[in-house]
Chain A
Amino acid sequence: MKTMTRRKGRTFYKQQWFILMVVIVAMAAATGIANPKFFSVRNLVNILEQISTLGLVASGATVLMISGNFDISVGSTIGLSACAMAMLMKRDVAEPLAVAAGLGVAILCCLFIGANSLLFKAPSFIISLACVGIYRGIALALTGGTIQTIYGKFEYLGSTRYCGVLPLLFIVSLVGYLAVHFILARTRLGRRVYAIGSNRNAAFLSGIAINRNLMTFFLINGILVGAAAALLLSRVGAVQPATGAGMELRAMGAVVIGGAPMTGGKGNILGTFTGVLLMGVISNVLNMLQVSPYFQDITFGLLIIVSLAISAMSQKWQK
């Protein structure tokens, strides 16, 4: 029976992640020719380390954006969570305990947004916009606006490299990607992410408990954001309330570059992964070619617009 044949949604070479991979490889090759240091082990490891934090945050943003939600306060949440971890470590609280507390802070921050969004039937975008200031303000009040340096504590996570090349940071980030991929592709919870994002009314009328599931999505985001805060603290060794600022936009940008529409219901982690990788490589390439750092922000902004243009055009071609 011809209706039974199982066909992959779109042939792989038309998918966003594949196009991005081609762009990344082409860019890497061109840069490598201009500056052979690009392909040095040290530089490649550096790229992987730099995109680890963003990867975790973007994984959380993927879940939220597919479900039709946004959390633009994750930058502030990272600052608050990392400051909490650092302050506890400075007071000689055991590292695992301090990390757990910081993780708890991040989870609470994210759940607070979900709960308010549901309670007041307001878009999570707006609630999280309000929370940007609230969370940063709390962090400023707690730290008195000072840098929290942990002087050699909690270095293990940020400095470990297996076989001298594979950073532990990247492995943690990879675990985040895989966990989100597993949830999205293999679990009922993942189906609910897509269903609620695609058509919330229809999801409700199909028996999906909207409130409970949306809170779960925010919980997942909180765990990933908290983990990102721990990574950042361990890598840098010092944080301040403004740490993480701008991270939310780069994370959401990576998800969009990965092909997920702002309207929800579509997207996957492979797209996000390649989006994050592209951002990391571009940032590195611009450094390698000694482009002024001011141009990096411009480049990221243009990149998001270009990727939106690509999805708009590929939708047109499909029709």
Chain B
Amino acid sequence: MPEPLLDLANIDKSYGGNPVLRRVSMDLLPGEVHCLVGENGAGKSTFIKILSGAVRPDGGTLRLAGGSYSSLSPQESMRLGVSTIYQDIELIESLTVADNIFLGHELPAGIPGTVNIREQERRAGALLDMLRIRLDPGEPVENLSTAQKQNLQIAKAMHGEARILVMDEPTVSLGVDEKKALMRLVRELRAKGLGIIYISHFLEEVFDIGDRITILKDGEKVGTYDVAAMTADKVTRLMVGRDASQFFSRERSTVGETRFEVSGLSCEGVEDVSFSVARGEVFGFGGLVGSGRTELAEALFGARKRLAGTIILDGEKLAPASPLEALRDGVCLLTEDRKRLALFMNRPLSENVTVAHNELFGGALLSFALERAQVADMLAQLKIVAAGTDIDAASLSGGNQQKVAVARWLLCRSEVLIFDEPTKGVDIGAKAEIYRLMTDLAAAGRCVIMISSDMPELIAMSDRIGVMRGGRLAGILPGAKAREEELIRMFMG
């Protein structure tokens, strides 16, 4: 057996006491495609970020290029021959193909400080030819397709003499032919002796090009297997198999008449989606990242322009053109990205809680007494732990920040509550609070719509689960009977 290119041993990482990786090990041989699979949140991203130097591990060792490290900086990782091709492609749009390849290591021309563009383009052309990538070295990157940009990233990695290539969901935005071309390129790189870590949700790709496969589940390694000895069913089972004890079980209230009805809704990223939510129901939305769930939520909340479709609440047609109108109609949205889209990080907790209520019900003058009472009530109801109501939102823990965002919508007394990834990045205690709250809201007759990538959460909380795939609603399953294997298959189509 050849010497491994890379050996990651017993990698530990936790965020705020929340373990995301527990003693995970993996090695990579030259001339191998090693696939890394697992559900959303299994720890794949964290694992490769540790390799690329973006995240510091808490424990474990990284052995590569003849050295042993407890952590890497991004520069070290690159110097040691690791190159990561991310989902969001990092290229400079206004520069040419050749400029991007030579970025930071430009070839000098005669006059100091100038670049020898012709020589750069010649060498870039030779490199692209060798990789059989058909690109014009002088083409500006902004004219390239997603697939071409990805190829360029690979070429750039090869130019940097990468020996370990990490590809994170490289085919997500590619068409069928582009996918085939990428697979061919990956095979050629393997033949050149590179080690490739390949992350994908699509199992057929794994079986197409993988040599070995490592399965992660809830931050732990299930095992590493030869692809030849596995079947897709077996992999799926190993990915999702869990102890029953980890499920949160909620009391299900009796579901009443239909209150919220969406039909034929289309917007950018969503096509022709129809579903309804009944009084007291929790309607879950599952699907892969990028399947159109968040876009759908934004369209319902008036934050994204709707192109077609109707929304009906209690027999009345809604057509919110802004979040303010949606709030007045009784629809609210807890956004997925609380730092960027929900919280005012440098403003006090109290203002963060009351902002939407003030817009909806408040007068021109603030009532501090009412505000104090509301904030105190929310702190108690959601068990928010804070050193005071005047402290900035930024100084709260992730779980408490999320509770503050939830509190904002509770005060608005909306009839339809859309929660986009409500427990993302929150600790177990806060998770339980948020589950209890959603259950209570449903029991009180509200319509709760929950988007979640956390499979057990989706199954345990939802009365029904709508599966989104490629911007369309692929089907609706009863929540109590849904099984993870079945859902995963529907997610991937």
Task: Give residues in A with beta carbon < 8 Å to B.
Answer: 1, 3-9, 186-191, 194-195, 198-199, 201-209, 265-266
User: A7 contacts B387, CB within 8 Å?
Assistant: yes
User: B390 contacts A8, CB within 8 Å?
Assistant: yes
Q: In the complex, what's the smallest C-beta–C-beta distance from B292 to chain A, in angstroms?
A: 19
User: B380 contacts A207, CB within 8 Å?
Assistant: no
User: A194 contacts B385, CB within 8 Å?
Assistant: no
Q: Which of A3, A6, A202 contacts B342 (CB 8 A)?
A: A202
Q: In the complex, what's the smallest C-beta–C-beta distance from B351 to chain A, in angstroms?
A: 6
- The residue in A7, A199, A203 that gathers the most chain B C-beta atoms within 10 A of its C-beta is A199
Query: Which of B114-122, B239-247, B363-371 contacts the other chain?
Result: B363-371
Nearest CB in chain B to that of A263: its residue: B346
Q: In the complex, what's the smallest C-beta–C-beta distance from B303 to chain A, in angstroms?
A: 6
User: B344 contacts A202, CB within 8 Å?
Assistant: yes
User: B390 contacts A209, CB within 8 Å?
Assistant: no
Which of the four size classes fits the interface of chain B?
35 or more
User: A3 contacts B356, CB within 8 Å?
Assistant: no
Q: Which of B344, B346, B359, B386 contacts A3 (CB 8 A)?
A: B386
CA distance A282 to B189 in the complex (A): 69
User: A199 contacts B324, CB within 8 Å?
Assistant: no
CA distance A205 to B335 in the complex (A): 9
B372 within 8 Å of A by Cβ? yes
Q: In the complex, what's the smallest C-beta–C-beta distance from A319 to chain B, in angstroms?
A: 10
CA distance A205 to B360 in the complex (A): 13
B113 within 8 Å of A by Cβ? no
User: B355 contacts A191, CB within 8 Å?
Assistant: yes
Please give, as numbers and ranges, the residues of chain A lying within 8 Å of B333 by CB-CB distance: 205
Evaluate whether A4 and B379 lie within 8 angstroms (CB atoms) in the complex, with A198-B345, A199-B344, A208-B359 already known.
yes
Q: A-facing mask of B319-362, CB < 8 A → 1, else 0?
A: 00011100100000101000011111111100100011011101
Offer 20 A-B interface pairs, CB within 8 angstroms, sorted by A: A6-B389, A7-B388, A187-B364, A187-B365, A188-B359, A188-B363, A188-B366, A189-B364, A191-B351, A194-B344, A194-B347, A199-B343, A204-B323, A205-B342, A206-B356, A206-B408, A208-B355, A209-B322, A265-B344, A265-B347
Evaluate whether A198 and B389 lie within 8 angstroms (CB atoms) in the complex, with A187-B365, A204-B323, A208-B324 already known.
no
Q: In the complex, what's the smallest C-beta–C-beta distance from A76 to chain B, in angstroms?
A: 32
User: A186 contacts B365, CB within 8 Å?
Assistant: yes
User: B359 contacts A207, CB within 8 Å?
Assistant: yes
B384 within 8 Å of A by Cβ? yes
Q: In the complex, what's the smallest C-beta–C-beta distance from A5 to chain B, in angstroms?
A: 6
User: B358 contacts A188, CB within 8 Å?
Assistant: yes
CA distance A176 to B322 in the complex (A): 34
B376 within 8 Å of A by Cβ? yes
Q: In the complex, what's the smallest C-beta–C-beta distance from B347 to chain A, in angstroms?
A: 5
User: B341 contacts A202, CB within 8 Å?
Assistant: yes
CA distance A198 to B365 in the complex (A): 21
Please give, as numbers and ranges, the residues of chain A lying within 8 Å of B340 by CB-CB distance: 199, 201-202
User: A198 contacts B346, CB within 8 Å?
Assistant: yes
Q: Which of B129-186 contact A (CB under 8 A)?
A: none
User: A195 contacts B388, CB within 8 Å?
Assistant: no
Nearest CB in chain A to that of B342: its residue: A202
Please give, as numbers and ranges, the residues of chain B lying within 8 Å of A202 by CB-CB distance: 340-344
User: A207 contacts B386, CB within 8 Å?
Assistant: no
User: B347 contacts A198, CB within 8 Å?
Assistant: yes
Given A188-B358, A201-B340, A266-B346, 19 extra CB contacts under 8 A: A3-B386, A4-B379, A7-B388, A188-B362, A188-B365, A194-B344, A195-B347, A199-B345, A202-B340, A204-B303, A205-B342, A206-B342, A206-B408, A207-B324, A207-B327, A208-B324, A209-B322, A209-B324, A265-B346
Nearest CB in chain B to that of A189: its residue: B364
Please give, as numbers and ranges, the residues of chain B lying within 8 Å of A6 by CB-CB distance: 372, 388-390
Nearest CB in chain A to that of B368: its residue: A186
Q: In the complex, what's the smallest C-beta–C-beta distance from A234 to chain B, in angstroms?
A: 32
Please give, as numbers and ranges, the residues of chain A lying within 8 Å of B389 by CB-CB distance: 3-4, 6
- The residue in A3, A188, A201 that gathers the most chain B C-beta atoms within 10 A of its C-beta is A3
- The residue in A6, A203, A207, A209 that gathers the most chain B C-beta atoms within 10 A of its C-beta is A207
Please give, as numbers and ranges, the residues of chain B lying within 8 Å of A8 by CB-CB distance: 390
Please give, as numbers and ranges, the residues of chain A lying within 8 Å of B408 by CB-CB distance: 206
Please give, as numbers and ranges, the residues of chain A lying within 8 Å of B322 by CB-CB distance: 204, 209
CA distance A203 to B341 in the complex (A): 8
Please give, as numbers and ranges, the residues of chain B lying within 8 Å of A195 by CB-CB distance: 344, 347, 351, 355
Nearest first, the 10 A-B pairs at minimum CB distance are: A198-B344, A207-B359, A7-B388, A207-B324, A206-B356, A207-B327, A206-B355, A265-B346, A9-B390, A199-B344
CA distance A4 to B389 in the complex (A): 7
- The residue in A191, A195, A206 that gathers the most chain B C-beta atoms within 10 A of its C-beta is A206
Q: In the complex, what's the smallest C-beta–C-beta distance from A86 to chain B, in angstroms?
A: 36
CA distance A181 to B376 in the complex (A): 26
Q: In the complex, what's the smallest C-beta–C-beta distance from B340 to chain A, in angstroms?
A: 7
Please give, as numbers and ranges, the residues of chain B lying within 8 Å of A191 by CB-CB distance: 351, 355, 358, 366
CA distance A20 to B246 in the complex (A): 57
Nearest CB in chain A to that of B332: its residue: A207
CA distance A10 to B364 in the complex (A): 27
CA distance A196 to B387 in the complex (A): 25
CA distance A4 to B372 in the complex (A): 9
- The residue in B327, B347, B364, B372 that gathers the most chain A C-beta atoms within 10 A of its C-beta is B347
Q: A-facing mask of B297-324, CB < 8 A → 1, else 0?
A: 0000101000000000000000000111
Q: In the complex, what's the smallest C-beta–C-beta distance from B328 to chain A, in angstroms?
A: 8
Please give, as numbers and ranges, the residues of chain B lying within 8 Å of A266 by CB-CB distance: 346
CA distance A84 to B367 in the complex (A): 42
User: A207 contacts B388, CB within 8 Å?
Assistant: no
Please give, as numbers and ranges, the residues of chain A lying within 8 Å of B324 by CB-CB distance: 207-209
